[in-house]
Structure 1
Amino acid sequence: MVWKQEYERWLDSDVLEEEQREELANLQSDETELEDRFYKSLTFGTGGMRGEIGVGTNRMNVYTVRKAAQGLADYLQSFGEDAVRKGVVIAYDNRYRSQEFAREAALTLGANGVRAYVLSSLRATPLLSFSVRHLQTSAGIMITASHNPPEYNGLKVYGEDGCQLVPKDADALISYVNRIEDELTVRTGDERELQQQGLLAYVDEEVDEAYLEHLKGITLNQSIVDESGDDLSVVYTPLHGAACQATVDALKQAGFSNLTVVEEQAKPDPSFSEVSSPNPEEHRAFDRAIEIGKEHDADILMATDPDGDRIGLAVKDGSGDYTVLTGNQTGALLMEYILQTRKEQGTLPDDGLVIKTIVTSELGQAIANKYGVTLENTLTGFKFIGERILQAHDEKQATFLFGYEESYGYLIQPFVRDKDAVQVALMAAEVALYHKRNEKTLLQALEEMYEEYGWYLEELVSFKAKGKTGQEKIENVLDSFRKGQINDFAGLIVKCIEDYQQGKRYDIQKSTTEPIELPASNVIKVRFEDGSWFCLRPSGTEPKMKAYIGVQSESLSASRSQLLNIKRTVVEKVETILEK
């Protein structure tokens, strides 16, 4: 019953505001809700923290934000005066209380002598990543819950390379955060005094202008944009998020002026009142964009998520309607165009490197093989792609060409070290224009790729499991697959089982084991002899487990059948374990 002690500690505290005290008092009869709010501290993981807004140790509020900022201040102080002097840049998106949380983080850092640079109005996440590098700060904080529901908010921490902290660095930071026993007593500074002392500054235009200047280098074939950019009709929705201005400015700067913005979804709105979903992975997020696209006979529809790091595309399907592309399909189209164009221009380097995650389509490997570039896999999470970019650059191992993940995250050029929807909006427009000049839609171009490489199909299934009990159930599922003997599955012969927590790959047919050269992660991946696979992993940001499934064959019908077969078996086995 530790949660009751924590609840009473908060209720008795004299630092809570009256509104917060009333919120807790009104929950006295709801022990289930109180337990969920106080049974643990909001997890500060490798990607920062994210949770529902509210009062409690397991909620996003000013006290949990201060605790995270205090931990970051202590972490930076461990590196010496130079790290403290370089400071931290802070940005925030359109979420409820985002501006307040950004301010509280800055005041906490300042109270510890750490300089804070705050972007004073809404910014997309990639601009925060860029700002860390541009301002040469020691770290960055982004206040965002990405595409989570309106009741969520979060805090992500970036290192001096502009990349989210990888496990080694995140673990060190987490240790400092966890040393703070009482989040209610973390001290903050006075805003005016901190500004006078040079420990708090607001920055805007300098960063925005520098970012737009770098975006000029995204376009690979500017001549076709100069000649025909107006011919491409684009409809864009920011889904009430923070990326609207940057995306519109970037597209128009490049020469894509035939642009229609979904006006009712252009205004930042934390309740997402005019969208069916703020997540471009969900097709209903495109409902209004499709209506406007039909009115304008648009060639391509674009939707960026609330914090502007992910982007979805919808394209003409030949019947007067639009098809929403999956993240894997968009990644394949972008990758093919980048490699093909650079090869034609003579700029494809011998040491070219493309990076994707272990749950992203294997079509990327087929494309890489064709163009003779190296493709590497990382764990799920763009921070691992950013880490590999840094390593390749510092050690002069390879030239980065493209990075992507199936969940609609892509990076074209590494002046940002996180996924960047604004960069991709530019590149997607160029790819669509290129194919339009050749009298093809993006969907037709994709079908031609399938005919050349094979029909690669993928699907994602999510299993929700909220609260403490839900987390235990998810662990049971992964343990069951980890400990079970799997030789055949859904009528398929298992080739190998990859256990990323143990760091081992078990070859079932050869009865051999080899190491996996990636950081430990609670992930299980099963590969079949025919090239199909499925992968199980807990979500890092939401209370659920995800099952990724991928297949490949020489025909669309065969791939669809195989995908359904594996999906049905995975769902049946997972739900059986969850019910236990």
Structure 2
Amino acid sequence: MTWRDHWKRWSNCFWLDDDLKKQLKQIEKDEKELEDCFYKWMEFGTGGMRGKLGPGTNRMNTFTIRRAAEGLARYVEDYGEEAKQRGVVIAYDSRHQSYHFAMETALTLGAHDIQVYVFQELRPTPELSFAVRHLQAFAGVMITASHNPPEYNGFKVYGEDGGQFPPEPAQELMNKVVEVEDELSIQVADENTMKAKRQLMMIGEEVDKAYNEKLQTVSLHPKLLQSKGEQITIVFTPLHGTANFPVTRALETSGFKNVHVVQEQALPDPNFSTVKSPNPENKEAFTYAIAEGKRVDADILMATDPDADRLGLAVKNEHGEYELLTGNQTAALMLDYLLKERKAQQLLPKNGVMLTTIVSSELGRKIANHYGVTTVDTLTGFKFIGEKMKEYEKTRQYEFQFGFEESYGYLVKDFVRDKDGVQAALLCAEMALWYKEKENKTLYEALHTLYERFGYYREGLESLTLPGKDGLEQMENIITAFRKNPPSMIGDEEITIREDYFMSERFIVSNEQKETIKLPVSNVLKYKTEEETWFCIRPSGTEPKIKFYFGVKGNSLKEANDKLFRVKASVMEQVKKRM
């Protein structure tokens, strides 16, 4: 069917709700917008199904949610009656229509006699991951679009291990979704009937309490926290999302008494009214937190994204100003602290492993090596880290110690199988207290100690936003141009290794030898030099963006920063020539 055929189906559907009818009416003369709404079905990328709210097969709405849920129901049915009885846990964040989408998912599953658990209030993604494991459910669904703008929402699916669906089951699920021929006629169960049969159960405090108890195991020095926790002052903002309750509860339980929540951003708000983007990667998102930090003379500032799977950290620099750390810098601090203190307490296993991604900092690898911990790289997306955790749990080859990705995602303990901003908040608070009490250092000073010991590594990111059908084609053109005509230099350094993750091939330039990359196929390119400079090209799986990642190493922070600036400029100039 063409996009016009789909548009006509929707236009002639008398049971569309009034909002969808109104939105269709508003765009009926905008052919380009109509085509973008209907030219394809929403697909699962690195973070599930995510897109703009609105009418059409390529938008988030009641019927595309039902279609995804119907595919999930058929997927669960294939695993038999036990899988149906174990059921599906559903959580949702503060975005527009999140609760509605959660209930539509529940009622669609209910039509297949599948047990469903829905959180009675909004809860973060990591608690959904925990709940799947805690309730021994067969699967989970999180309704969220993470840090995307207010007009977005999404549908993320989790397996029985509590991890996001990796490629193989995700493809199996998508095959089930593709089989759904008419998303407008999907049958749903009656909510009251499901509740009467206890087929639909609303959950809350029991899971909250169990999650909070597990969070207390994150600490390496619980007695220090209880006795000295009031010695540091913390400012925290949930950026209008889900994290206020779980983070403040966990901090208070651990012993942190001086926690100041940014009141302007404390309550859920689907419009994220005080920020341009609810993204803790952006310094602008810390504007209110910085003001509050100055008012109370806070030691650290922390912010989570709307579904609380990511954490941003700001610390005082040498001038007494709050400086936002990158995800790689925060991860380096966390990793070094964890491994150092586990080693001191004889808790560090001989087969420890740190999991990270191909676009994250090499500083993490240097720190892990120092403590005798193996580093394993995965593709971008925490689902691949979760997949490795599941593998090592079965094979016992490695014991998980830490996982991180450069985009502010961290996991400390494995009772969750996705990045966990709540765990990260607890560990960052503990680190700040430990360095203040034990070494009379700020976290900023601790970071520079790491640089002096392991080298001055700096990373950066550039992205091009290319929305719509035309943008998708343009992204493909850029990466194809690099693949067919690879660069030979990064700035003034010769490229010595080219990696093509779509072809699963590593090419050694000096001897023209090829090696096999043993990772899932992905449309990603990476280039490296002998001086530890690298850049990577990757189309986003969840946003209309193509991303360019960079890494350098210098003999000083200034040298590394200057080098990073030059490398970015050099590569982006090459990008322009290939557009």
Shorter-chain TM-score: which interval?
A: over 0.9
Query: Where does residue 114 of structure 2 map in the other structure?
Result: 114
Q: Tell me the SS of whatever aligns to 2:355.
A: strand
Which stretch of the first structure deviates more once superposed, 217-226 or 398-407?
217-226
1:289 counterpart = 2:289? yes
Deviation at 1:206, TM superposition (A): 1.2
Q: Using the alignment, how far apart are the partners of 2:15 and 2:276 within structure 1?
A: 39
Deviation at 1:400, TM superposition (A): 0.7
Deviation at 1:226, TM superposition (A): 2.5
On the 8 A contact 1:216/1:254 being kept in 2, the answer is yes
Q: Using the alignment, how far apart are the partners of 2:88 and 2:97 within structure 1?
A: 20
Query: Where does residue 137 of structure 1 map in the other structure?
Result: 137
Query: Where does residue 151 of structure 1 map in the other structure?
Result: 151
Q: Using the alignment, how far apart are the partners of 2:64 and 2:277 within structure 1?
A: 27
2:190 counterpart letter in structure 1: D
1:435 counterpart letter in structure 2: Y
- Which aligned pairs between 1:146-545 and structure 2 lie closer than 5 A? 146-437=146-437, 438-545=439-546
TM-score (norm 2): 0.98
Q: Using the alignment, how far apart are the partners of 1:187 and 1:351 within structure 2?
A: 50
- Which aligned pairs between 1:46-85 and structure 2 lie closer than 5 A? 47-85=47-85
Q: Tell me the SS of whatever aligns to 1:535.
A: strand
On the 8 A contact 2:148/2:277 being kept in 1, the answer is no
Q: Tell me the SS of whatever aligns to 2:301.
A: strand
1:568 counterpart = 2:556? no
1:305-347 CA-to-partner distances (Å, cap 9, x unmatched) read 0001000000011323100000000000000000111111111
On the 8 A contact 1:276/1:287 being kept in 2, the answer is no
Q: Using the alignment, how far apart are the partners of 1:535 and 1:117 within structure 2?
A: 40
Q: Using the alignment, how far apart are the partners of 1:205 and 1:107 within structure 2?
A: 23
Q: Using the alignment, how far apart are the partners of 1:324 and 1:398 within structure 2?
A: 33
Deviation at 1:46, TM superposition (A): 5.0
Q: Using the alignment, how far apart are the partners of 1:306 and 1:269 within structure 2?
A: 9
- Which aligned pairs between 1:539-558 and structure 2 lie closer than 5 A? 539-558=540-559
1:477-534 CA-to-partner distances (Å, cap 9, x unmatched) read 1111111143333221111011011111000112101111110001000011111100
On the 8 A contact 1:487/1:508 being kept in 2, the answer is no
1:175 counterpart letter in structure 2: N
Q: Tell me the SS of whatever aligns to 1:471.
A: helix
Alpha carbons of 1:37 and 1:118: their partners in 2 closer, same or farther (altered >3 Å)? same
Q: Using the alignment, how far apart are the partners of 1:552 and 1:499 within structure 2?
A: 23
1:543 counterpart letter in structure 2: P
Q: Using the alignment, how far apart are the partners of 1:465 and 1:299 within structure 2?
A: 39
Q: Which runs of 5+ in 1 are unaligned?
A: none
1:91 counterpart = 2:91? yes
Q: Using the alignment, how far apart are the partners of 2:373 and 2:314 within structure 1?
A: 28
RMSD: 1.1
2:265 counterpart letter in structure 1: Q
- Which aligned pairs between 1:19-58 and structure 2 lie closer than 5 A? 19-45=19-45, 47-58=47-58
Q: Tell me the SS of whatever aligns to 1:493.
A: strand
Deviation at 1:247, TM superposition (A): 0.1
Q: Using the alignment, how far apart are the partners of 1:191 and 1:136 within structure 2?
A: 23
On the 8 A contact 2:243/2:304 being kept in 1, the answer is yes
Q: Using the alignment, how far apart are the partners of 2:517 and 2:564 within structure 1?
A: 26
Deviation at 1:18, TM superposition (A): 3.3
Q: Using the alignment, how far apart are the partners of 1:424 and 1:280 within structure 2?
A: 13
Q: What fraction of aligned residue pairs are identical, expressed as a percent? A: 51
Q: Using the alignment, how far apart are the partners of 1:261 and 1:558 within structure 2?
A: 37
TM-score (norm 1): 0.98
Q: Using the alignment, how far apart are the partners of 2:238 and 2:170 within structure 1?
A: 30
Aligned length: 578
Which stretch of the first structure deviates more once superposed, 17-26 or 454-463?
17-26
Q: Using the alignment, how far apart are the partners of 2:320 and 2:490 within structure 1?
A: 41
On the 8 A contact 1:122/1:242 being kept in 2, the answer is yes
Deviation at 1:23, TM superposition (A): 1.9
Q: Tell me the SS of whatever aligns to 2:27.
A: coil
1:474 counterpart letter in structure 2: M
1:404 counterpart letter in structure 2: F
Q: Tell me the SS of whatever aligns to 1:217.
A: helix
Deviation at 1:123, TM superposition (A): 0.2
Q: Using the alignment, how far apart are the partners of 2:274 and 2:419 within structure 1?
A: 25
1:342-397 CA-to-partner distances (Å, cap 9, x unmatched) read 11111111111111111000001110111111011100000111111111111111
Deviation at 1:557, TM superposition (A): 2.6
On the 8 A contact 1:46/1:170 being kept in 2, the answer is no
Q: Using the alignment, how far apart are the partners of 1:241 and 1:20 within structure 2?
A: 26
Q: Using the alignment, how far apart are the partners of 2:471 and 2:146 within structure 1?
A: 22
Alpha carbons of 1:174 and 1:147: their partners in 2 closer, same or farther (altered >3 Å)? same
1:80-115 CA-to-partner distances (Å, cap 9, x unmatched) read 111111110000000000000000000000001111
On the 8 A contact 1:46/1:171 being kept in 2, the answer is no
1:455 counterpart letter in structure 2: Y
Which stretch of the first structure deviates more once superposed, 317-326 or 358-367?
317-326
Q: Tell me the SS of whatever aligns to 2:548.
A: strand
Query: Where does residue 9 of structure 2 map in the other structure?
Result: 9
Q: Using the alignment, how far apart are the partners of 2:143 and 2:19 within structure 1?
A: 23
On the 8 A contact 1:526/1:533 being kept in 2, the answer is yes
Alpha carbons of 1:20 and 1:276: their partners in 2 closer, same or farther (altered >3 Å)? closer
1:443-485 CA-to-partner distances (Å, cap 9, x unmatched) read 1111111111111000000111111111111111111111114
Q: Using the alignment, how far apart are the partners of 2:168 and 2:553 within structure 1?
A: 35
Q: Using the alignment, how far apart are the partners of 2:558 and 2:422 within structure 1?
A: 35
Q: Using the alignment, how far apart are the partners of 1:436 and 1:564 within structure 2?
A: 33
Which stretch of the first structure deviates more once superposed, 561-570 or 347-356?
561-570
Q: Using the alignment, how far apart are the partners of 1:194 and 1:206 within structure 2?
A: 21
On the 8 A contact 1:45/1:174 being kept in 2, the answer is no
Q: Tell me the SS of whatever aligns to 1:128.
A: helix
1:189-226 CA-to-partner distances (Å, cap 9, x unmatched) read 11111122332111111111110111110100122212
